[in-house]
Amino acid sequence: MEKYREIEKSIIKKFRKDIWSKFVKAVNEYELIQENDKIMVCISGGKDSFLLAKCMEELKRHGKFPFEVHYVCMDPGYNPMNREMIEKNAKLLNIPLEIFESDIFDIVSDIEKSPCYLCARMRRGCLYGKAKELGCNKIALGHHFNDVIETTLLSLFYGSEIKTMMPKLHSENFEGLELIRPLYLIREEAVLAWKKYNELEFINCACRFTENCSIVDDGTSKRLEMKKLIRSLKEQNPNVDYNIYKALDNVNLNCVLGVKKKGEYESFLEHYDEKE
């Protein structure tokens, strides 16, 4: 049996509970994919986006209705080693990957203040533009359950607001485009177990300005700080990450100081004296 067949089988069989079932649950529960959708799956080169690609292939093959998928990777200026690894993994996993190039790394190389923020915005803009060019109505990203929880805590601790990474959202700047996250309910440990079981190697980070993170994490990122915090909290309460997730689906608006909707803030005082 060819390697990619074994990898596909592992998703459906060995990791059915932790990966496939949760992938299907997210797709159904959050209504991420509809009949005749044309979806662009974004491949960054990491474990998450490649797993997403394989899950999308399986769903397309065995799903209840037809939809179209394009697998795309944007090369913003990767070094040759990272570019080669992405191409190698696409071939190994039998993913018909289209790679298109941009000069984003060159553009942000001289930016001293917030180069990561500018890079992220430009990358997102290029991907949306590519999706429009392909005639797609949805873009699929490989964010998983841990990303959701970490983003929630980052917003709370460093952004002074309670918000999370949504399973889907409409693009504000590209009309008719929707972003979806089909791995929303899959935990990172399941992705790592799938990777290890199939003896796969992926790039961690392809950023030209932090080349070492392709091999190791230097431990300085705020997201890593959240990972460590959650890990320590789980030692006392194994369900703490799930509780954070459920809390965002169970917000008691009678017990918050204020809420923001479509950019407009409303204090609890505005309705405090109203009778039920």
Question: Got the DSSP string for 106-147?
Answer: HHHTT--S-HHHHHHHHHHHHHHHHHHHHT-SEEE----HHH
Q: Which pLDDT does position 231 carry in this prediction?
A: 95
Question: Distance (Å, rounded) from C-alpha 143 to C-alpha 154?
Answer: 15
Across 44-58, 75-89, 213-227, least confident range? 213-227
Comparison of pLDDT for 225 and 63, the residue scoring more: 225
**CB-CB contact of 183 with 55 (8 Å):** yes
**Residue 218 carries which DSSP code?**
-
CATH of the domain at 161: 3.40.50.620
Residue 276 resides in a domain: no
The answer to whether 95 touches 43, Cβ cutoff 8 Å, is: yes
* Global model pTM greater than 0.75: yes
pLDDT the model gives residue 126: 78
Whole-number CA gyration radius for the chain: 20
Q: Which two tokens stand for residue 59?
A: 């769903």
Could you tell me if residue 21 is inside a domain?
yes
DSSP 76: S
Q: What is the pLDDT of residue 43?
A: 94
| Dist CA 143 CA 138 (whole Å) | 15
Residue 77: its pLDDT value, please?
74
pLDDT of residue 125: 73
CB 134 within 8 A of CB 40: yes
What pLDDT, in 10s, does the model give residues 145-177? 999 999 999 999 999 999 999 999 998 888 889
Residue 128 lies in a domain: yes
Residue 161 lies in a domain: yes
For residue 177 the two structure tokens come to: 């485009």
Residue at 219 is within a domain:
no
pLDDT at site 180: 98
Domain presence at residue 245: no
Number of structural domains in the chain: 1
Q: Strand, coil or helix: what is 161?
A: coil
Amino acid 105: pLDDT: 58
* Mean pLDDT calculated for residue range 95-99: 94
> What is the predicted pLDDT for the residue at 232?
96
Q: Grade residue 260 by pLDDT with cuts at 50, 70 and 90.
A: very high
Range of the domain at 190: 3-211
Q: Is residue 112 part of a domain?
A: yes
Asked if pLDDT for residue 216 goes beyond 50, the answer is: no
Q: Is residue 129 part of a domain?
A: yes
Supply φ then ψ for residue 46, to 5 degrees: -90, 175
80-95 CB burial, b ≥16 within 10 A, e <16: eebbebbeebbebbbb
Give phi and psi for 260, each to the nearest 5.
-125, 130
Q: Greater confidence, 26 or 220?
A: 26
For residue 218, the model assigns a pLDDT of 42
Task: Write the pLDDT tens digit of every residue in 3-59.
Answer: 999 999 999 999 999 999 999 999 999 999 999 999 999 998 999 999 999 999 999
**What is the reported pLDDT for 28?**
97
